Chains A and B, each alone.
Chain A
Amino acid sequence: QVQLQQSGAELAKPGSSVKISCKASGYTFTSYDISWIKQTTGQGLEYIGYINTGSGGTYYNEKFKGKATLTVDKSSSTAFMQLSSLTPEDTAVYYCARRLQWWVDYWGQGVMVTVSS
């Protein structure tokens, strides 16, 4: 069965970076893009962008350009998202999700990132 297993919760200081992972199983990794989505109580669900797992090509929501960097390791069927120059506004749950051409079907369990001094 399709599974997306994300890494554990992160506690980070303002100005630092974190890199969270999303390990896929149960399907051919390079056949689907991986999307990343941010969820906060205040802003709801926000689409960060997606990565083509075969080519490494990326799309970023303008709002997250310079904040998020998406990469993949095909050998381990894992997608990564690095968040840089963290501020308290980056405190959120971050999801990876398998992207079909027009929607996402399977979601990871989410990673809570807390930014606090």
Chain B
Amino acid sequence: DIVLTQSPALAVSLGQRATISCKTNQNVDYYGNSYMHWYQQKPGQQPKLLIYLASNLASGIPARFSGRGSGTDFTLTIDPVEADDTATYYCQQSRNLPNTFGAGTKLELK
């Protein structure tokens, strides 16, 4: 199975930029696409899709969220951070089955 590694936590001030990283132990690119996706989960809620195929913004997601990366290194950026962005962020790969998730990065405000 592909392993995804995320930092456990990140603290950012309101209005600043948050950069969340996700590294994989295998390349998740295939025929021009990077099969990496990002989800936001707030306490007591289900995850919500933010970014698909590494850099595509999901429907209804504010442009403050963006994703980039390829191969084995990916980032989710939130700029500027708002109070409502405190949550845990998960990356997920779908290059191989079983799809696997990172352990999540908890975003907190300073």
Contacts and interface: CB of A to CB of B under 8 A. Distances in A.
Interface of A: 35, 44-47, 49, 59, 61-63, 95, 100, 102-110
Contacts, number: 49
A103 B37 contact: yes
Nearest to B90: A45
A contact patch SS: strand
Contacts of A49: 98
Contacts of B49: 103-106
B64 interface: no
Contacts of B92: 45, 103
Given A61-B98, A103-B52, A110 B46 contact: yes
B45 to A, nearest CB: 8
Contacts of A103: 37, 49, 52-53, 92, 94
Contacts of B46: 95, 107-110
A63 B52 CA distance: 26
